[in-house]
Amino acid sequence: MELVELISSIEPADAEWEKSAWERLRSQIRPRDSLGQLEVIAARVASICRSLKADLSRKIIFTMAGDHGVAEEGVSAYPQEVTAQMVYSFVQGWATINVLAKHGGIDVRVVDMGVKADLPKEWNVIVKKIRKGTENFTKGPAMTREEAVRGLITGAELVINAVKQEKYGLIGTGDMGIANTTASAAIFSALCEISPSQVAGRGTGISDDMLRKKIAVIEEAIKLNRPNPSDPIDVLYKVGGCEIAGLAGAVLGAAFMKVPVVCDGFIATAGALVAIRLAPAAKDYLFISHRSQEKGHSVMIDAIGIRPILDLEMRLGEGTGAALAMPIVEAAAKVLRDVKTFDEAGVSKG
């Protein structure tokens, strides 16, 4: 599928289905509006799925992995080889994302979008490598425009195939990549024309000196590459990452297939922001799982305008926030579908 075709095919969610959902929710056997944001989520699911009986029981998280050349600037507390090591932990089932996803009845697929190392076949990773890590964007663009587009299409196709062929009804996005908070902050800074100092945070837990260096690195990259805020792909290829392209594509794919997508924290939300800038209607299909502790995430959330489902002071990534929030989205759909109305239950309204 061509990217232009994908974007042009994304339709807004259906307002009439949302209206019908609210009518049912407010007729159910409980005090009006008593479930608060759970009802908001339920109504949004109805508008996305065009149904009052959406089945979100088949859930999957795509954890996209990629390396970043800017890591050589000393912006992370961990060396670059940790990306591949954590991917190994994911496929072995040892990591936090595995535990939380299993708890929520969610499948996890790990995708190599741009890990620098060649991962062994026996690791059972989905290899969609765009390139072996990005370039150091303080010296030029992180990748080519063509590579960024390929990353977007790859992420979209993964979701489209999962929905079409495996009947998944709820998609989650997560990430792994040393220095990807630097790339995500650069994307947000460029797209929203906001100072890097307002959005760059401590990522893996860097010191004050490293944080100052990180901010300076982003400022340098934006000054050198001059990403165009009115062209999301220009921003993505100049200061982004392969896995962020995949994350953005996943949101586009979910919107194309008319299924809800729950993004994780700072990096996944940066990908979602790129998707929304490419296809504004994609926002209708997006849920933000949680408010990350990463400094710029709240600013990013405000820019997108979607209330996060949770606020647990997390900042891990991997898809962990999505793993916790996806069962809540599923629960909201079940409330809409299964709680009887006063008329159905034969209960007096008083």
Catalytic residues: 318
Coil, strand or helix: which one is 186? Answer: helix
Structural contact between residues 264 and 322, judged by C-beta atoms closer than 8 angstroms: yes
How far is 216 from 221, CA to CA, in rounded Å? 9
Measured between alpha carbons, how far apart are the two ends of the chain, in Å? 56
How far is 80 from 92, CA to CA, in rounded Å? 20
Taken as a whole, the chain contains a residue count of 350
8 burial level (CB within 10 Å; 0-12, 13-18, 19+)? exposed
Long-range CB pairs of 144-147 (<8 Å, 24+ gap) are 144/237, 145/233, 145/234, 145/237, 147/237, 147/242, 147/245
Coil, strand or helix: which one is 59? Answer: strand
What are the CA-CA distances from residue 258 to residues 45, 104, 211, 281, 328 (Å)? 10, 22, 40, 11, 19
In the numeric block, which tokens belong to residue 161? Answer: 């195939």
Structural contact between residues 45 and 90, judged by C-beta atoms closer than 8 angstroms: no
Main-chain dihedrals φ then ψ at residue 196, nearest 5 degrees: -55, -30
